[in-house]
Amino acid sequence: MTPNPSATRWRKSSRSNTGGNCVEIADSPGVIAIRDSKNPAGPVLTVTHDAWTAFMSALNQETLA
């Protein structure tokens, strides 16, 4: 399922810098949507909640290769 970007509540990390080099994420039914904060009308990447959880876990554990 592809979310409607204009009807989705997007957020970015509180750790984002002011340089604008950020991604935004949104919870949608069945998926997490990810987009470039500098291009909100651009493409949206979607991943399952399980894939997002695994990705965030790997980031937190610093196990990404």
Tens digits of per-residue pLDDT, 2-56? 556 556 789 987 777 666 678 899 998 889 999 988 888 899 999 999 999 999 9
Domain that holds residue 44: 5-12+20-61
At CA 22, angle to CA 41 and CA 3, rounded to 5? 40
**What is the pLDDT at residue 28?**
83
Burial class for 8, CB neighbours closer than 10 Å (0-12, 13-18, 19+):
middle
Burial class for 52, CB neighbours closer than 10 Å (0-12, 13-18, 19+):
middle
**What is the pLDDT at residue 58?**
92
**What is the pLDDT at residue 3?**
58
Number of domains in the chain: 1
* Cα 39–chain centre separation: 13
Q: Which two tokens stand for residue 6?
A: 């204009």
Place of tokens 């399952």: 48
